[in-house]
Amino acid sequence: MFYNEEFETLPRPALEALQFKRLKATIERVYCNVPFYKQSFDKAGISPDNVKCLDDLQGLPFTTKQDMRDSYPYGLFATSLEEIVRIHASSGTTGKPTVVGYTHKDIEIWTELMARSLVAAGAHKGDIIHNAYGYGLFTGGLGAHYGAERLGASVIPISGGNTKRQIMIMQDFGSTVLTCTPSYSLFMAEEAKAEGIDFKNLKLRVGIFGAEPWSEAMRGEIEEKLNLAAIDIYGLSEIMGPGVAIECIEAKKGLHIWEDHFLPEIINPETGQRVANGELGELVITTITKQGIPLIRYRTRDITSITYEQCICGRTHARIARMSGRSDDMLIIRGVNVFPSQIESILVGIEGVEPHYLLIVDRKENLDTLEVQVEVDERLFSDEIKVLQQLSRRIEKEIKEMLGVTCTAKLVEPKTIQRSEGKAKRVIDKRNL
Amino acid sequence: MKVEQISIFIENKSGRLAEITRVLGETGINIRALSLADTSDFGILRLIVNDVEKAKIILKEKGFTVSKTEVIAVEVPDRPGGLSAILQVLDADRINVEYMYAFVERCGENAVIIFRFDETDKAITTLQNNNFNVLEGERLYSM
């Protein structure tokens, strides 16, 4: 099943011709409209005229998350703000988010790509889509929502949280498709079990899970516990949001990246050179139809591999493998991007807290947990229990407010957190993905 | 009229209490009274010792977080109603007890209660006005 059969099955030569045309137009537009790109192209000694074939993309400079932060909030916009109809943002290390703006056409394309993704995952008109991705600045909720509406499905915009109610609604409303993070789906399964509800009696058929790393083992567990087909979806707000790539239900083997809108490359994160097809490396994406924020060779930091082999589903678009990690230290906790440096800056902002801390990430009852260990020195110490407990609560509250992540703060004795000569070990990730 | 107490932060893991008492014992410091307040994650050990400064220095050297707090020691007749009489006069003056702990004097006649108040000076005045015996720190250290 396809949503847009013509484009999803476009023969490679025609697809590549379309890609080149769109790439060329994008490059010309950013060169003229975005001072950042004019500077970076000029510095690299490249003019838009130098790009004569798709392979010439390799010669263009990368765009990084840092570039986006440096351009906060609107520096990378290629259109005037008047053309922008939506603004989303994701968290950043300095406390300043990464901002993305969408024109009307960008939203149109995102909506179509999300609709394509839903169909690839096995959803169709008539489905009742239980959308438990968060609505708000985070792109997950609204992205999935628009695609589902476009498809003609009934969307339940339930967003995250209040698990008991989620289960009641899935049961009573007869939800057939679930969209949320994979860890949350397993948490729902546990809650349902505790309530004596068997997912086998629900109408769920398909689950579309993304926004955090997960494994094939987890897929098996989800499919068994929720009695549905679990599909991996990929997206990032910088590029668009959910629906950049998705597995097809026919193969469930690699995520089709919508190549008529995004050019994928896999590079060695150290050298910046492309790696061979099938080899692991960092995913780099160039947007070729975006108007609000077109990005040239954006380094996603996600580690994957790519294959151009024909898929049994009939789509001609390349497939990227399930994300197997991050090339930087970013943690994804319950779908939220967290950098240790963000937590550090919050801790240092609390008087008396030393920058000696340790983050312990774990997964308990299928939900990511974050423990922040902080050393108690003399400036923090009080001989009254309540004062120390207030300190813990304050750390937890500030992290929740700034980063949107729930954590538990644990006070530990001084000098008990391991010191390191070089790069400090700030994170212990116990999740076995 | 105030007594110096040292407080030590202890993580809730095995052997910490043993380590503190070992360090103090080896340094020849005698513990006069103690209390341990605990939560699921950490505890606070409060000690009255015969040599406050020495204890503080040696524990700091061993890497513990130590602080000094002023508390009040009050002598209470070791009989039913002894403590109640004290708490009633404090309550009448609206003085809050942050925490307290007790021990019995060696001669066995009286109990000694260690108090931490929100208003230390006011508490001393109230207690003395009601003829309770507020002990000098020196007397406690050398008991």
A405 and A296 housed in the same domain: no
- What is the CATH code for B72-135? 3.30.70.260
Look up residue B65 and give its DSSP letter: -
The yes-or-no verdict on residue A422 having pLDDT over 50 is no
pLDDT for A287: 98
Average pLDDT of the residues in B1-26: 91
Among the candidates A327, A351, A375, a domain finishes at A327
Phi, psi of B38 (to 5 degrees): -135, 150
Q: Does residue B118 sit at the A interface (CB-CB below 8 Å)?
A: no
Beta bridge partners of A209: A180, A232
Q: How far is CA A12 from CA A5, A184, A294, A307, B10, in A?
A: 14, 38, 23, 13, 66
Fold topology of B3-69: VC0802-like (3.30.2130)
- Minimal Cβ distance to A411: which of B42, B69, B116: B42
Chain A residues with a Cβ under 8 Å from any Cβ in chain B: 376-378, 380-385, 388-389, 392, 410-416
Check which CATH number belongs to the domain holding A49 and give it.
3.40.50.12780
Distance CA A226, CA A178 (A): 10
| Phi then psi dihedrals of residue A172, to 5 deg | -75, -35
CB contact under 8 A, A381 and B63: no
Range of the domain at A131: 5-327
At residue A424, the 3 state secondary structure works out as coil
Smallest Cβ–Cβ distance between A383 and the set B41, B44, B63 belongs to B44
Of the listed ranges A54-63, A69-78, B108-117, the one predicted with least confidence? B108-117
Which of A40, A103, A102, A94 shows the shortest CA–CA distance to A69?
Answer: A94
3-state secondary structure (DSSP) of residue A392: helix
Percentage of chain A beyond pLDDT 70 is: 96
Q: What does the alpha-carbon distance between residue B112 and residue B105 come to, in Å, rounded to a whole number?
A: 7
pLDDT tens readout for residues A127-183: 999 999 999 999 999 999 999 999 999 999 999 889 999 999 999 999 999 999 988
User: Is the Cβ pair B11, A412 closer than 8 Å?
Assistant: yes
pLDDT in tens, A7-49: 999 999 999 999 999 999 999 999 999 999 999 999 999 999 9
Q: Which uninterrupted H or E stretch holds A294?
A: none
Exposure string of A92-125, with b = 16+ CB inside 10 Å and e = fewer, is: bbeeebbbbbbbeebbebbbbbbbbbbbbbbbee
Last residue of a domain, one of A292, A327, A362: A327
| Beta strand residue intervals within A132-197, DSSP E | 154-156, 177-180
Does residue B110 come out as left (phi exceeding 0), alpha (psi in the -120 to 50 range) or beta? Answer: beta
For residue B124, give how far its alpha carbon lies from the nearest alpha carbon of chain A (Å). 20
User: Three-class SS of residue A271?
Assistant: coil
Say whether both A302 and A340 belong to one domain.
Answer: no
Residues A102 and A57 in one domain: yes
pLDDT of residue B126 exceeding 90, the answer is yes
Closest CB to B39: pick one of A376, A381, A385.
A385
- Nearest-Cα residue of chain A relative to residue B44: A383
Instruction: Tell me how close the Cα of A372 comes to any Cα of chain B, in angstroms.
Output: 13
Q: Using a CB-CB distance cutoff of 8 angstroms, which residues of chain B are in contact with residue A411?
A: 9, 11, 41-42
What's the CATH number where A377 sits? 3.30.300.30
The winner for highest mean pLDDT among A30-39, A404-413, B116-125 is A30-39
Task: Tell me, yes or no, whether A305 and A357 share the same domain.
Answer: no
Cβ-defined contact of A388 to B44 (cutoff 8 Å): yes
Tell me the C-alpha distance between A339 and A67, whole Å. Answer: 17
| Residue carrying structure tokens 């990378």 | A76
Residues of chain B neighbouring A385 (CB-CB closer than 8 A): 37, 39, 44
Chain A CA closest to residue B5: A383
DSSP state of B12: S
Residue B117 token pair: 């108040």
A378 to B116: CB separation less than 8 angstroms, yes or no: no
- The per-residue pLDDT for A92 is 53
Q: CA nearest A140: which of A126, A160, A124?
A: A160
Q: Which of B9, B11, B116 is closest, CB to CB, to A381?
A: B9
> Looking at the structure, do residues A257 and A159 belong to the same domain, yes or no?
yes
Residues A202 and A89 in one domain: yes
Token pair of A64 as six digits: 């990084």
Q: How many C-beta atoms lie closer than 10 Å to residue A365's C-beta?
A: 11
Token duo for residue B42:
């950490």
Cβ separation A385–B37 shorter than 8 A: yes
User: Residues A287, A341: one domain?
Assistant: no
Closest residue to B65, CB basis, from A384, A389, A413: A413
Rounded Cα–Cα distance for residues A220 and A225 (Å): 9
Beta strands in A205-353 (DSSP E): 206-209, 229-236, 241-247, 255-257, 262-267, 281-287, 298-304, 306-307, 319-320, 325-326, 331-333, 336-338
Specify burial of residue B81 (Cβ count, 10 A radius: 0-12, 13-18, 19+). exposed
Can you give the length of chain A in residues?
433
By Cβ distance, the residue of B63, B67, B98 closest to A414 is B63
Q: From the CA of B128, how many Å to the nearest CA of chain A?
A: 26
DSSP codes of every residue in A49-113: GG--SGGGGGGSPPB-HHHHHHTTTTTT-SS-GGGEEEEEEE--TTSPPEEEEEEHHHHHHHHHH
Domain locations along chain B: 3-69, 72-135
**CA separation, residue A208 to residues A173, A177, A231, A307 (Å):** 18, 8, 5, 22
The alpha-carbon gap from B109 to the nearest alpha carbon of chain A, in Å, equals: 30
Residue type, A105: K
pLDDT tens string A192-208: 988 899 999 999 999 99
Count contacts between A and B (CB, < 8 Å): 52
Let me know whether A322 and A386 are in one domain.
Answer: no
Tell me the chain B residues in contact with residue A382 when contact means C-beta distances shorter than 8 Å. Answer: 67
Q: A291 and A403 in one domain?
A: no
- Please spell the DSSP secondary structure of B74-117, one letter per residue: EEEESSTTHHHHHHHHHHHTTPPEEEEEEEE-TTSSEEEEEEEE
Question: Does residue B20 contact residue B6 with C-beta atoms inside 8 Å?
Answer: no
Interatomic CA distance for residues A307 and A330, integer angstroms: 26
The B residues from 45 to 64 touching A (CB cutoff 8 Å) are: 46, 63-64
Chain B, window 4-43: residues with a beta carbon less than 8 angstroms from a chain A beta carbon = 5, 7, 9-11, 16, 37, 39, 41-42
Domain shared by A152 and A138, yes or no: yes
Residues A139, A238: contact at Cβ < 8 Å? Answer: no
Q: Does residue A202 sit in the same domain as residue A115? A: yes
> Minimal CA–CA distance to A257: which of A276, A284, A237, A230?
A284
Check if the beta carbon of residue A383 is closer than 8 Å to that of residue A420: no
**Residue of A356, A374, A376, A383 to mutate, interface with B, max B Cβ within 10 Å:** A383
Q: Is the pLDDT of residue A258 over 50?
A: yes
The reply to whether residue B63 touches residue A413, judged by beta carbons under 8 angstroms, is: yes
**Model confidence at A270, in pLDDT bands (50, 70, 90)?**
confident
Q: What is the pLDDT of residues A87-119, one digit of tens each?
A: 999 865 456 789 999 999 999 999 999 999 999
Number of structural domains chain A divides into:
2
Residues A264 and A343 in one domain: no
Domain boundary among A310, A327, A344: A327
pLDDT digits (tens, 9 = 90+) for B55-111: 999 999 888 999 999 999 999 888 888 889 999 999 999 999 999 998 877 666 788
**C-beta atoms of A385 and B67 within 8 A:** no
- Nearest Cα residue in chain A from B118: A384
Question: Closest-CA residue in chain B for A388?
Answer: B42
Q: Which tokens hold the place of A285?
A: 């994406």
Query: SS3 string of A185-211?
Result: HHHHHHHHHHCCCCHHHCCCCEEEECC
Nearest 5°: the CA angle A66, A67, A69 is: 60
Give B-chain residues touching A378 at CB under 8 angstroms: 65-67
How far are the Cα atoms of A174, A176, A190, B8 from residue A201, in angstroms, in the given order?
A: 10, 12, 15, 56
